[in-house]
């Protein structure tokens, strides 16, 4: 039985439905609030892993839009509590969602490998970490790892600067280059306790510590042929890379907009509970009403573009036939990431100014949101890349007025 059928089977006894996902979201968020107080995330990860939430992608393999909505909701809630933890969890979701929903139609072998991977993620209740193998070297975009084909599989060596969820992940999905063949996705299920996979210290030891982002070094990691999910210079691989990036660019703003929503809620509580010198609640000041309205409008506008981009990704039903729709979805996802993350940072900053110094007293939520939201705009694509893509489109020979923006 496939993972999807199995999970749908659970649904038949009505314990697995959107409503049951929502109940589980509430429980997992409560566990995260508790974990932050004790600074011990063991119980949170135990509950998350034992819930059905990490395995939603398996149940929505043919409904990317429905899956996107649930992922948005969960990450938005988690991002309102701890953007760093939400980022770690986002990494699991974007990779798993992309693998589960990639709508290829012309590569049955790749489909079998994807299905088998999704099945084993569910069967073994695995959390998925990933790395694109980028390094902080002297040249932008440098890849620090490489794979060499051998008789019984591949030998992998080198360094990757970023892996979030590094000590909690079970399965590592990584992008590297096979010598003389091009980019390739590998998946290895034994990333913890594997002497050939060295998980380094925190990359961001203060502000973003809870994202568990660490450098990974491969020391002669030997993997069988089956570990190769997709590889080579062909259309399927480049479309999988684009599709996965679109998922990532959509789910990143989802979590940081959660931080913005929480900041607006903290502003609401503060303005309603605090009186001015005239004994009237600050919430009655016309200037405050306007300020808060501006924040809510910015937040709503940013959420709308993220949702629009999520719908666009769901319209990619079959590749390569829908290559033009994928291109549109990738574009919109870039815009959504750009607008959503900038808006989140701006809203949290404005909220902090309204609440004032109380934002940093007694474990106030805005303190954590402030420290972590500044990571929002930094990735996955940097702003210059998104801006250049949009600029080039505008400056084509066709008039801008006729363009479908
Ligand atoms: C908290 C956090 C967690 C992460 N977790 C993961 C993970 O689990 N797995 C993973 O694979 N990656 C992860 N990343 C990396 C992420 O996906 C991006 O690769 C990364 O954020 C890109 O930022 P950078 O500063 O490394 O980019 P760089 O490419 O090094 O860019 C640095 C700066 O150079 C300039 N620049 C870059 N490119 C251009 C350009 N084309 N034109 C003009 N200027 C340019 C910009 O000013 C940019 O800010 C994580 C990043 C963060 C911040």
What is the distance in A from the centroid of ligand 1 to the CA of 211?
A: 15
Q: Whose CA is nearest to atom 49 of ligand 1?
A: 382
Task: Give tens-digit pLDDT for 39-70.
Answer: 999 999 999 999 999 999 999 999 999 999 99
Report the CATH number at residue 354: 1.20.140.10
Q: Using most ligand atoms within 8 A of CB, pick from 209, 259, 378 the residue to mutate for ligand 1.
A: 378
Residues 328 and 205 in one domain: no
Residues 225 and 239 in one domain: no
What pLDDT is attached to residue 107? 81
Evaluate whether residue 139 is within a structural domain: no
**Alpha helices (H) in 224-322, listed in sequence order:** 235-273, 286-314
- Statement: residue 3 has pLDDT above 70: no
User: Across residues 124-147, what is the average pLDDT?
Assistant: 95
**Could you identify the atom of ligand 1 that is nearest to the CA of residue 175?**
11
Based on the structure, what is the number of domains in the chain?
Answer: 3
Q: Strand pairing of 145-150 and 153-163? A: antiparallel
Task: Give tens-digit pLDDT for 279-290.
Answer: 999 999 999 999
- Statement: residue 154 has pLDDT above 90: yes
**Could you identify the atom of ligand 1 that is nearest to the CA of residue 141?**
29
Task: Give tens-digit pLDDT for 104-117.
Answer: 877 888 889 999 99
Q: Whose CA is nearest to atom 12 of ligand 1?
A: 162
What is the distance in A from the centroid of ligand 1 to the CA of 378?
A: 6
Q: Whose CA is nearest to atom 30 of ligand 1?
A: 140
Per the structure block, which two tokens stand in for 240?
A: 């999988």
Cβ contacts of 373 within 8 Å, gap of 6 or more: 83, 256, 259, 260, 344, 345, 348
Task: Give tens-digit pLDDT for 361-400.
Answer: 989 999 999 999 999 999 999 999 999 999 999 998 788 8
Q: Using most ligand atoms within 8 A of CB, pick from 163, 379, 389 the residue to mutate for ligand 1.
A: 379
What is the distance in A from the centroid of ligand 1 to the CA of 184?
A: 20
Eight-class DSSP state of 52: S
Residues 199 and 267 in one domain: no
User: Across residues 59-85, what is the average pLDDT?
Assistant: 97
Task: Give tens-digit pLDDT for 239-273.
Answer: 999 999 999 999 999 999 999 999 999 999 999 99
Helix, coil or strand: residue 393: helix
Per the structure block, which two tokens stand in for 273?
A: 């509970």
What pLDDT is attached to residue 399? 86
Residues 258 and 298 in one domain: yes
CA angle 309, 312, 318 (to 5 degrees): 145
Task: Give tens-digit pLDDT for 386-396.
Answer: 999 999 999 98
Q: Give yes or no for a contact between 173 and 191, defined as CB atoms under 8 angstroms apart.
A: no
Per the structure block, which two tokens stand in for 401?
A: 């007025």
What pLDDT is attached to residue 276? 95
Q: How confident is the model at residue 7 (pLDDT cuts 50, 70, 90)?
A: very low
Query: Cα–Cα distance between 28 and 34 in angstroms, integer?
Result: 10
- Statement: residue 98 has pLDDT above 70: yes
Query: Cα–Cα distance between 107 and 85 in angstroms, integer?
Result: 35
Evaluate whether residue 11 is within a structural domain: yes
User: Across residues 152-158, what is the average pLDDT?
Assistant: 96
Evaluate whether residue 158 is within a structural domain: yes
- Statement: residue 310 has pLDDT above 60: yes
Q: What is the overall mean pLDDT for the chain?
A: 93
Residues 204 and 281 in one domain: no
Q: Give yes or no for a contact between 101 and 64, defined as CB atoms under 8 angstroms apart.
A: yes
Selection from 155, 171, 152, 153 nearest residue 163 by Cα: 171
Domain coverage including residue 293: 235-402
Per the structure block, which two tokens stand in for 63?
A: 């409904």
Per the structure block, which two tokens stand in for 127?
A: 């959390």
Selection from 118, 212, 123, 242 nearest residue 173 by Cα: 118
Q: How confident is the model at residue 1 (pLDDT cuts 50, 70, 90)?
A: very low
What is the distance in A from the centroid of ligand 1 to the CA of 382?
A: 6
Looking at 198, 231, 264, the residue that finishes a domain is: 231
**Could you identify the atom of ligand 1 that is nearest to the CA of residue 375?**
53
Query: Cα–Cα distance between 91 and 248 in angstroms, integer?
Result: 8
Q: Whose CA is nearest to atom 13 of ligand 1?
A: 162
Residues 226 and 350 in one domain: no
Residues 341 and 240 in one domain: yes
**Could you identify the atom of ligand 1 that is nearest to the CA of residue 204?**
1
Cβ contacts of 11 within 8 Å, gap of 6 or more: 17, 59
**Could you identify the atom of ligand 1 that is nearest to the CA of residue 385?**
41
Who lines ligand 1 at CB under 6 A? Answer: 87, 91, 130-132, 134, 140, 162-164, 204, 208, 211, 213, 375, 378-380, 382, 384-385
User: Across residues 171-187, what is the average pLDDT?
Assistant: 94
Residues 188 and 241 in one domain: no
What is the distance in A from the centroid of ligand 1 to the CA of 135?
A: 9
Looking at 184, 209, 231, the residue that finishes a domain is: 231
Q: Whose CA is nearest to atom 25 of ligand 1?
A: 378
Per the structure block, which two tokens stand in for 66?
A: 């429905």
CB burial of residue 230 (10 Å; 0-12, 13-18, 19+): buried
- Statement: residue 118 has pLDDT above 90: yes
User: Across residues 353-359, what is the average pLDDT?
Assistant: 98
Residues 33 and 64 in one domain: yes
Residues 218 and 258 in one domain: no
What pLDDT is attached to residue 405? 67
What pLDDT is attached to residue 263? 98
Task: Give tens-digit pLDDT for 313-330.
Answer: 999 999 999 999 999 999
What pLDDT is attached to residue 287? 97
Q: How confident is the model at residue 16 (pLDDT cuts 50, 70, 90)?
A: low
Q: Whose CA is nearest to atom 45 of ligand 1?
A: 384
Looking at 231, 249, 278, the residue that finishes a domain is: 231
Backbone angles phi, psi at 221, to 5 degrees: -75, 120
What is the distance in A from the centroid of ligand 1 to the CA of 218?
A: 21
Q: Give yes or no for a contact between 343 and 260, defined as CB atoms under 8 angstroms apart.
A: yes
Residues 152 and 93 in one domain: no
Angle between helices 83-101 and 365-373 (to 10 degrees): 50
Residue 324 vs residues 47, 321, 400: alpha-carbon distances, Å:
41, 8, 19
DSSP string spanning 209-235? GGG--EEEEEEEEEEEGGGEEEESSSH
Residues 313 and 385 in one domain: yes
**Could you identify the atom of ligand 1 that is nearest to the CA of residue 91?**
8
Cβ contacts of 335 within 8 Å, gap of 6 or more: 305, 309, 386, 390
Report the CATH number at residue 220: 2.40.110.10
What is the distance in A from the centroid of ligand 1 to the CA of 342?
A: 15
């Amino acid at each position: 039985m496939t993972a999807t059928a199995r999970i749908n089977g659970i649904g038949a006894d009505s314990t697995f439905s959107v409503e049951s996902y929502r109940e589980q979201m509430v429980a997992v968020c409560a566990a995260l609030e508790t974990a932050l107080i004790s600074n011990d995330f063991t119980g949170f990860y135990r509950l998350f892993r034992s819930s059905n939430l990490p395995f939603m992608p398996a149940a929505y393999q043919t409904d990317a839009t429905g899956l996107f909505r649930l992922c948005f909701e969960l990450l938005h809630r988690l991002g309102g509590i701890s953007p760093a933890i939400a980022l770690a969890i986002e990494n699991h979701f974007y990779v798993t969602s992309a693998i589960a929903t990639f709508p290829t139609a012309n590569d049955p072998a790749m489909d079998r490998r994807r299905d088998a991977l999704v099945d084993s993620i569910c069967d073994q209740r695995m959390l998925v970490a990933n790395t694109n193998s980028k390094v902080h070297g002297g040249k932008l975009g440098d890849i620090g790892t490489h794979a060499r084909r051998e008789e019984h599989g591949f030998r992998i060596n080198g360094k990757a600067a970023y892996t979030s969820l590094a000590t909690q992940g079970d399965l590592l999905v990584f992008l590297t280059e096979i010598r003389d063949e091009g980019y390739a996705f590998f998946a290895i299920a034994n990333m913890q306790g594997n002497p050939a996979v060295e998980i380094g210290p925190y990359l961001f030891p203060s502000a973003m510590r809870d994202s568990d982002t660490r450098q990974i070094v491969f020391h002669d990691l030997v993997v069988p042929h089956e570990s190769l999910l997709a590889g080579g210079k062909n259309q399927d691989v480049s479309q999988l890379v684009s599709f996965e990036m679109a998922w990532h660019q959509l789910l990143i703003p989802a979590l940081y907009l959660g931080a913005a929503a929480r900041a607006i809620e903290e502003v609401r509580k503060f303005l309603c509970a605090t009186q001015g010198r005239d004994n009237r609640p600050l919430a009655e000041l016309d200037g405050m009403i306007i300020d808060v309205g501006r924040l809510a409008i910015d937040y709503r506008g940013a959420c709308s573009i993220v949702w629009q981009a999520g719908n666009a990704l769901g319209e990619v039903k079959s590749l390569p036939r829908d290559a033009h729709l994928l291109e549109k979805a990738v574009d919109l996802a870039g815009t959504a990431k750009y607008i959503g993350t900038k808006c989140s940072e701006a809203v949290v900053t404005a909220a902090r100014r309204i609440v004032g110094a109380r934002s940093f007293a007694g474990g106030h939520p805005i303190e954590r949101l402030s420290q972590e939201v500044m990571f929002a705009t930094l990735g996955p694509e940097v702003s210059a890349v998104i801006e250049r893509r949009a600029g080039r489109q505008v400056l084509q020979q066709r008039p801008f007025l006729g363009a479908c923006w």
